[in-house]
Structure 1
Amino acid sequence: MPESFTDTPLLTSRFDAALHYATRHHARQLRKGTTVPYAAHLLAAASLVLEMQGDEDEAIGALLHDVVEDGGGRPALTAIEAAFGPTVAGIVLANTDTVDEADRGSGGAGWYARKRAYLDGFPDKSPAALRVSLADKLHNARSILLDYRTHGDDLWSRFGQSRGLATRVYYRELASAFERERERLGGPAQPAIDEFRRTVDAITALAETHQGPDTRTLFDDAR
């Protein structure tokens, strides 16, 4: 079958500029515990957004979704809005759990508070922001599963954990949150929602093989 073409490309020079901005900001950053440039994750997230038929603002948001959280802070958010507009800045903000480093908190309690707030904010996120979030988390989950199959429980040391329970619980919460927002995410996003659930369930099953049943399933479990 011959390649398809369009007279009105979805991606313009704005996307090119965002790609340059993102790769320069994250130039020295690597994926946790690997030698993989962080840009690989940004490109994967943008690709997944486009596969969900997201628009250029969403693709740019995917490229820039970690800029503020990974050292850019509020000045970066202001710069993103000036360069790429308020819609992109809103997508980035909705996918940032800490804007100011001083608000990050420390230890497990700080991590839990940030992740709980991120999950609680799902109903208020725009469909565009949700699609970028789904792309981000799906690529992360794919990477976790692949590396868990390769490295076993040694993987969890990358996250400052010995057994990875906190991360697994968080990803199960995310899967449920995306499922609750199915309708707002739109038809083209449905396969990605389902793949995210399958990937999270596969991580859980692999953990049970290594460790036995998890002692907690979701954040609010009493057991």
Structure 2
Amino acid sequence: MTKEEEAIHNKEYVYRCIPHRAACDREGRLYCRAANAVLENPVYCSYCPCFAGRDGKEQPVCRYYDFPWQEKTDSRTPNQWKKYADGLIGAGLVPVFPDYIIKRDETEESIEQALQFAAEAHKRQVRKGTGIPYIVHPMEVLSILRGMTEDPDILMAGVLHDVLEDTPSGELELEQRFGPRVLKLVKKETEDKRRHLPAKDSWKIRKMEMISQIRREPAELKKIVLADKLSNMRATKRGYDKEGEAIWQRFNVTDPGMHRWYYMTIGEILAELEDTQAYQEYMHLCREIFGQVRSKG
């Protein structure tokens, strides 16, 4: 029995944070440990917080990869790797999201618990118009927030910002697990979806309510909003570069002028964060994407 097998058997699995090539097949599919999914198009790795560059063969290197995969000798396919990981997760031997922190303090442990919770809550969800696992968005929000704050509640709320809005998770569960301040921050970033109405019919009123809400809030919430919207704008820019104007068809409201109004207004509200790198990138992307947009209305 190998050391890894013995550790698994004893429920003492040792997680590693040693960057190495992700498990790809010849067709380019790879097993993504962070999302516990097989990705058909690993080009997305270039935009993932887990990404650590590419090797000499142009295959992605993942810094959160934590299973004992042998780069030169392991012949398992991405689907076989997922089956292996699902078995370990199902047996309670490893968590849904990689436990990648080696030297952990109380703050990092809490953030990791939030990642675990979000990964489970968003399981089987994908980013709109793509096959990208949804959990990558909260991961990116966390990565952006780390450049603006070390406040653990803000970091956790960033990871969890969509769980009330887009998953069955409830307020009581969130408060019991992560505390009242995290719940308050998440609620402030949660839209009233008005699920009794078609999404396109309620879109503008929902966005107006969010704009009104953000105007009243302090910088701690505005940082979460900025990280969320910057992640969205990065995704929109990637889609726009690939699809052009057709990208707007993936949204509930297909008029790009309405999206310009919303994101530029958010930029005005968040101007107190103008000294941050995140805000500067956000406004650059807004100007680049929406500079030539004209409303259909």
* Shorter-chain TM-score range: 0.7 to 0.9
Alignment of 1:54-73 (within 5 A): 54-72=150-168
Match of 1:131 among 210, 217, 223: 223
8 Å Cα contact 2:237-2:285 kept in structure 1: yes
TM-score normalised by L of structure 2:
0.60
SS at match of 1:27: coil
Q: How many pairs are equivalent?
A: 195
Does the CA-based 8 Å contact 1:153-1:162 persist in structure 2?
Answer: no
* Paired position in structure 2 for 1:83: 177
Moved over 2 A (4+): 7-12, 101-109, 160-165
CA distance in structure 1 between the aligned counterparts of 2:253 and 2:208, rounded to whole angstroms: 18
Deviation by residue 1:85-117 (Cα, 9 ceiling, x = unmatched): 11111110111012xx55664354411111001
1-structure distance, mates of 2:194, 2:253:
23
Deviation at residue 43 of structure 1 after TM alignment: 0.3
Question: What's the counterpart of residue 143 of structure 2?
Answer: 47
Displacement after TM superposition at 1:195 (Å): 1.6
Q: Which protein is richer in helix relative to its size?
A: 1
* Structure with the larger RCO, 1 or 2 (CA within 8 Å, 6+ apart): 1
For residues 155-182 of structure 1, give each alpha carbon's deviation from its aligned partner in whole angstroms, at most 9, with x where no partner exists. Answer: 1111034442222221111111111xx0
What is the percent sequence identity of the aligned residues? Answer: 27
Matched, 1:106 2:194: no
Of the two, which has the highest radius of gyration?
2
User: Of the candidates 187, 190, 195, which is equivalent to residue 276 of structure 2?
Assistant: 190
Q: Contact (CA 8 Å) 2:258, 2:295: kept in 1 or not? A: no
Question: Cα deviations across residues 140-164 of structure 1 (Å, max 9, x unaligned)?
Answer: 0111012101111111111034442
The gaps in structure 1 that reach 5 residues or longer are: 1-6, 217-222
Amino acid in structure 2 at the alignment position of 1:150: K
In proportion to residue count, which structure has more strand? 2
Structural RMSD (CA): 2.4
Counterpart amino acid of residue 158 in structure 2: A
* AA at the equivalent of 1:30: V
For 1:173, the equivalent position in structure 2 comes to 265
Residue equivalent to 1:159: 251
Q: 1:90 to 1:126 in 2, by over 3 A?
A: farther
